[in-house]
Structure 1
């Protein structure tokens, strides 16, 4: 792909054209072409925020969709993400993207265990463009480190990003910790649900569906600071039954038991090679993880959406989704004395067998 003479960009058609060209560049692994496209677009007068959110973010969304459909490999997905991150970094150095801070201070971080950092980075750069002083802490920020930072900087708000629903218990702890020291929390990302239902459940002060909406919320005025005695101890009363704790603590043994039984319940597995067996064990671990978070949130639908999404991913890779119901039956047998877990597994199995396939992210 050559960008020695990039095409002129005009309005909406220019954004679409730029998005197409950037997709071609990241798909080819051409970092130089990608950054040149982005910088040229800003030189041509395209708004930097629009480049970040309407071009780079759109391409990154396509990267995830193409991986799920098995049209690009894991390696290509990683390379494309890295190139998009480099494109963001290049844009931030452009003079047109430099804005002096005129507003308050915001800390942007990913939930501990969350390694999808690009959404948080995009938000951080948008907030900088809008005049905020931003402390971007990146991926996988442990709550104690986040607290230490807040004590030192006295931020006006924390923007917490999460893409994977299994990190929501950790997100809950981080939200509560931030509020305990009087800092309000704005959350976003696929993990919190398409309508923000988990943000409200976990007590976040605000939720935004995307970076632009998050910046708009902060622009409307400061989030109310929580009282120093703020607590959320009783927010999730269903956890009293200890099912979440027991499933989480015994996840490894549950995976081993189901994996062993699956060879008899799903005879095709006996022909699997080492790599296929390893992938099966990973899939089972994810199933148990999502069951645990569904128990934590008290939401049967989350587990069902994960299962139907997993079935779509398996089918796209030529793996029979018929292996899932036997695995779920074995898991239900292991957890027969856990009423909530049993109901969640039953609901998920019904979603699979009735063909209610998901669209998009399982969170």
Structure 2
């Protein structure tokens, strides 16, 4: 599921203070201080769900924003995320201890017999948002099987058959995982299990969930509420295949580009050296980063063709331009990459149209960017 934001823009001062203290502890790498912040908030009367969703979750969002702005490193982002994950585990143990002392199981009569599986789709390594949902649902009395990051679809289906789950919640943060999300949703539905899907991959408004066969929720609180309302079990015999629901796949552009990804990336990298002279002096690490960036462009292009929505690719290109600018890399270096990829796909009309729109969107976005300090 997507990492939720605070439930109110005019947050209570005490929540602001708790978030500030948690951020200080997390950014300093002090796991014990971070856990103590959460414990103190619980002791001061904040509901456990509020601590999870209105303090830990916004701090996690801030971690991502700081990384995107190049104010913290990848290593710092990973360390901070790990601390938040440990804080959630410590908080869960503290709550479980209180329930044991109080002689209560913590399960409500309404949901005590409901069992849910939560998993990140194959290739998805950002597990903290899904973990948040798992902890919220445990608080609400569900029996939750949290499978964590990067769960291969066959393993997930075997688990569903073994446990008899009432529903499954799938998480994906990067939109280039959408074909995998679709495959996983179909497999779950074919097993007779309804699916709730969330995360940034599904779009900020969840636009990609219904066409792929899933119910959507925009954050952990909404997801928990929707699950408590109950999801309709699918008829396995009525589950449709991707080509049935996504008729545009008949043109084979998605399939052909996916199969040619390695060649597209290698050719683009080779040709880029003639258009970006600085590449000739790149270190091995810089070349690796450039290769990853080009691979992401090709993967997002293919996924855009899969869902037939140009905005997925143009939004990704704008985001990439912002990331490059934050790292002092001229975002206009994306133009030759788009042109070289386009030259290889000139016989693919849908791909060509997507690349042309992305080119226009990138030009407009760069024009609207604030000038660099050198050019100010």
TM-score, normalising length: structure 2: 0.89
C-alpha RMSD of matched pairs (Å): 1.6
1:160/1:186 contact within 8 Å kept: yes
Separation (CA, whole Å) in 2 of partners of 1:224 and 1:63: 36
Match of 2:221 in 1: 212
Separation (CA, whole Å) in 1 of partners of 2:153 and 2:366: 37
Q: What does 1:1-363 align with in structure 2 at a 5 Å threshold? A: 12-95=12-95, 99-100=106-107, 102=109, 103=111, 104-204=114-214, 206-220=215-229, 222-233=230-241, 234-355=244-365
1:308/1:358 contact within 8 Å kept: no
Separation (CA, whole Å) in 2 of partners of 1:357 and 1:156: 50
2:26/2:34 contact within 8 Å kept: yes
Helix, strand or coil: the match of 1:93? Answer: helix
What does the per-residue CA deviation read over 1:172-202, in whole Å, with 9 as the maximum and x for residues that have no partner? 0111111111110011111100111000121
Match of 2:3 in 1: none
1:305/1:358 contact within 8 Å kept: no
1:231 Cα deviation after fit: 1.9
1:184/1:224 contact within 8 Å kept: yes
1:49/1:129 contact within 8 Å kept: yes
Separation (CA, whole Å) in 2 of partners of 1:260 and 1:183: 46
Helix, strand or coil: the match of 1:352? Answer: helix
1:101/1:128 contact within 8 Å kept: no
1:255/1:284 contact within 8 Å kept: yes
What does the per-residue CA deviation read over 1:123-182, in whole Å, with 9 as the maximum and x for residues that have no partner? 001011111111111111111111111111111111111111111111101111111111
1:271 Cα deviation after fit: 3.0
Separation (CA, whole Å) in 1 of partners of 2:13 and 2:61: 19
Higher relative contact order (CA 8 A, sep 6+): 2
Runs (5+) with no aligned partner, structure 2: 1-10, 100-105, 370-376
What does the per-residue CA deviation read over 1:218-272, in whole Å, with 9 as the maximum and x for residues that have no partner? 222x211101202222011111111111111111111110111111122232232
Match of 1:7 in 2: none
Runs (5+) with no aligned partner, structure 1: 1-10
Helix, strand or coil: the match of 2:78? Answer: helix
What does the per-residue CA deviation read over 1:293-352, in whole Å, with 9 as the maximum and x for residues that have no partner? 111111111011000100000000000111100110000001111111111111111100
What does the per-residue CA deviation read over 1:268-303, in whole Å, with 9 as the maximum and x for residues that have no partner? 322323222221111101111111111111111101
1:356 Cα deviation after fit: 7.1
2:332/2:366 contact within 8 Å kept: no
Match of 2:8 in 1: none
Helix, strand or coil: the match of 1:32? Answer: helix
Helix, strand or coil: the match of 2:236? Answer: coil
2:115/2:167 contact within 8 Å kept: yes
Separation (CA, whole Å) in 2 of partners of 1:269 and 1:247: 26
TM-score, normalising length: structure 1: 0.92
